[in-house]
């Protein structure tokens, strides 16, 4: 790689770093392109040479969110558990994750909603964010039969993960509003949803 190309790559990453920092701190919708350029220490013209519009930057930052938020989730695949138990661990991760990771998940959801509403761009769901883990659970479930054997396992697992992660992120996102207060029933409701989804997927005769 030439020195020129290295400099271009470094500048590209610097812009993404700046947008990442601003999006986390201020939210997706409120950050302007001029703010990103200033934070990155580049001119407006340079910024637009690398990213044609805000949507392009959001997509790049979302990839970073996916990598960061999904890193700990990967550990589930190596645990000596049944597929059913790994799915339960996945749900628990969403409920017990640190505020820092929760904020990244919330910003990811915020980005998907912004792009769909403002730019008309369909982006990956939260299931895709953790696709490797979800696929691992599905394949392991086919082998150990720890799920209900009469259901379409792929559809059922994707639906369960999407439903649970979206609800968890959506409610957490609402709590970031200045006038909102976290419902005292939030944890109870999420625990109830977790139990309902797991019961629907449980085998008739548990292994």
Over residues 142-175, the pLDDT tens digits come to 999 999 988 999 999 989 988 887 777 666 655 5
Cα R_g (the chain), whole angstroms: 20
Q: Looking only at Cα atoms, what is the longest distance across the chain?
A: 64
Interacting residues of 89 by C-beta distance below 8 A, sequence separation 6+? 76, 79, 81
CATH 1.10.10.60 domain locations along the chain: 1-52
CATH 1.10.357 domain locations along the chain: 63-201
CA atoms within 13 A on the CB side of 45: 0
Fold held by 1-52: Arc Repressor Mutant, subunit A (1.10.10)
CA–CA distance, 157 with 115 (Å, rounded to integer): 26
Is 1.10.3470 the CATH number for 63-201?
no
Question: Which residue positions in the chain have pLDDT lower than 70?
Answer: 68-69, 97-106, 109, 118, 121-129, 169-186, 205-207
Q: Which two tokens stand for residue 32?
A: 């302007």
Contact between residue 122 and residue 186 where contact means Cβ atoms under 8 Å apart = no
What is the reported pLDDT for 3?
86
What is the reported pLDDT for 75?
85
CA–CA distance, 75 with 86 (Å, rounded to integer): 10
What is the reported pLDDT for 82?
96
150 phi, psi to nearest 5 deg: -95, 0
Contact between residue 149 and residue 206 where contact means Cβ atoms under 8 Å apart = no
């Amino acid at each position: 790689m030439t020195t020129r190309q290295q400099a271009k790559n470094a500048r590209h990453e610097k812009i993404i770093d700046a947008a990442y920092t601003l999006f986390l701190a201020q939210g997706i919708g409120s950050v302007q392109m001029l703010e990103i350029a200033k934070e990155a220490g580049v001119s407006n013209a340079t910024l637009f040479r690398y990213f044609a519009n805000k949507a392009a930057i959001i997509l790049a930052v979302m990839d970073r969110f996916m990598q960061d938020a999904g890193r700990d989730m990967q550990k589930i695949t190596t645990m000596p558990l049944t597929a059913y138990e790994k799915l339960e661990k996945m749900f628990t991760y969403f409920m017990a994750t640190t505020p820092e990771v929760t904020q990244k998940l919330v910003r990811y959801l915020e980005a998907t909603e912004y792009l769909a509403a403002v730019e008309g761009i369909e982006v990956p769901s939260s299931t895709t964010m953790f696709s490797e883990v979800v696929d691992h659970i599905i394949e392991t479930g086919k082998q150990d039969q720890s799920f209900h054997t009469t259901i379409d396992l792929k559809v059922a697992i994707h639906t369960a993960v999407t439903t649970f992660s979206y609800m968890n992120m959506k409610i957490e996102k609402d709590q970031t509003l200045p006038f909102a207060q976290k419902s005292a029933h939030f944890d109870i409701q999420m625990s109830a949803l977790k139990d309902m989804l797991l019961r629907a997927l449980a085998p008739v005769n548990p292994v």
